[in-house]
Amino acid sequence: MSDNYSSAGYSGSTKSSSTRVQWSTRMAFILAAVGSAVGLGNIWKFPYITGEHGGGAFVLVYLGCILIIGIPVMMAEIALGRRGRHNPAQGIATLVREAGAHPFWKIIGVMALLCGFMILMFYTVVAGWAFAYVPKAASGSFVGENGDAIGSMFGGMLADPIALTIWMTVVLGLTMGIVLRGLHGGLEKAINLLMPGLLILLLILVGYAMTSGHFMEGVSFLFKADFSKMTGTGFLVALGHAFFTLSLASGAIMTYGSYLPENVSIGKTTMIIAIMDTVVALAAGLAIFPLVFANGLEPGAGPGLIFVTLPIAFGQMPFGSTFGTLFFLLLAVAALTSAISMLEPTISWLTEKFKMTRFKACMLAGSLLWLGGLGVVASLNIGSEWTLFGKTFFDMLDYLTSSWLMPLGGLLMAIFSGWILKKTVMLDELGLSSTIMHKLWLFTMRYITPLAIIIVFLNVLGIISF
Ligand code: PHE
């Protein structure tokens, strides 16, 4: 048993729940969870969706969603994971059985598995862009180039299915390699270096943005809320992004929670993860928007936003090639630590439920993900015309997961943990230090979170409007 406690991460556990491996320390869990949360969502997605949805008001709604939905749901999800002590599907099924609840609720675990898997199909492709930009930055490709040249560099990359496939395969291979070996040691050390490194580089970029002459324009775009720019879709995207950026309702946090020792406080841990995640996203916004305005770019330019704005800066600033190389390298690593947290739930499900070896499970999941990745690559070039309801395969995966599966999963988890499970089960598991905190969490989970999600859904469906 003591051996299990000393090895962080997980082995391909087919053991009984009582001897399942656990994180070595609270810090190991925090690092892994922060590694999962901080990724492309903060640095690539947050700025571009903020740009598309008009800035300040969107950011405010997003921050509100983190506070009243993301944080309490994350607490619930870690607690459900630890209580279930299995992969998401079997862990939730165990809780449903114990509570004597209707089998319908098992859908929470199944949806989470599916959602993480679907996100990973496009996540490896976008992470591949970050990888591809490392050698570009290192070889000085951005030096002295203007926005147009850098924009066509990005366009050229998207138009090349072979290069995209190679980079996607590299990312998937690395993700599978790390997950295959378990998270012992390596991940903790990597994240220990990564987080401070990423924050320092982002701060350097914010510093550079301050010299651009358009810093205040960037700040007011990010923080001056003009609700006339918000649409119903904007609310849904902000809500979905709160789930995406905190890795919720997609199996990752639940699976990591299932390896968490009993004595760790879930509340404090959640706060640390959410604060780190938010700081990184806001720093990315502060680095990017001043550059957008300084270079006459369009804030709503879409998924290429950081791959166009930041290289312009790297091309102009002193030591730009070095900073650029480091930045894309760190972004690539941040994406990897998120990708492994998306793969682990499926692997733990295949090994626990079907008694597969970790190797077989990785091969099976990896092959399906690779095929999905090919579809995403094609949707950026040769298959950009293949659309369903006007959305390419890539857009569809992103839309279905962030806008529907995750908020819906969050809603079900909130109702399940607030209403269906016995009160004592969750409160016991959360172990909050005061009864006030208990009451606050339970009230939020029962009323605030479900209502907020339902209102956003009804609004986007046009049934109510605000
Ligand atoms: N939170 C990660 C990011 O912001 C993405 C992610 C989503 C990771 C779902 C795991 C599960 O990049």
Whole-angstrom distance, CA of residue 169 vs CA of residue 347: 18
Least confident of 59-73, 80-94, 177-191, 396-410: 177-191
Closest listed residue to residue 368, CA positions, set 158, 140, 116, 139: 116
Asked whether the whole model's pTM tops 0.95, one would answer no
Q: Environment class of residue 420 by beta-carbon count within 10 Å: exposed (0-12), middle (13-18) or buried (19+)?
A: middle
Ligand 1 atom nearest the C-alpha of 251 is: 11
Q: Does any ligand 1 atom lie closer than 6 A to the CB of residue 119?
A: yes
Mean of the pLDDT values across residues 409-436? 91
Helix (H) or strand (E) holding 217: helix 215-223
Closest listed residue to residue 198, CA positions, set 304, 329, 47, 31: 329
**Residue whose CA lies nearest to ligand 1 atom number 11:** 247
Q: Does any ligand 1 atom lie closer than 6 A to the CB of residue 450?
A: no
CA 40–ligand 1 middle distance (angstroms): 7
Give pLDDT tens digits for 231-290.
999 999 999 999 999 999 999 999 999 999 888 889 999 999 999 999 999 999 999 999
Residue 17 confidence (pLDDT) above 50: no
Taking residue 303's Cβ as centre, other Cβ atoms within 10 Å add up to: 19
Whole-angstrom distance, CA of residue 230 vs CA of residue 21: 46
Residue 304 confidence (pLDDT) above 70: yes
| 183 — pLDDT class (breaks 50, 70, 90) | low
Q: At what angle do helices 449-460 and 406-415 cross, to 10 degrees?
A: 140
- Six-digit token string for 169: 């395969």
Residue 181 confidence (pLDDT) above 90: no
Q: Does any ligand 1 atom lie closer than 6 A to the CB of residue 338?
A: yes
- Counting residues of the chain whose pLDDT is more than 90, the rounded percentage is 79
CA 124–ligand 1 middle distance (angstroms): 12
In terms of DSSP H, where are the helices of 139-214? 147-158, 161-181, 186-210
Whole-angstrom distance, CA of residue 20 vs CA of residue 4: 7
Probe residue for ligand 1, chosen from 195, 244, 250 as the CB with the greatest number of ligand atoms within 8 Å: 244
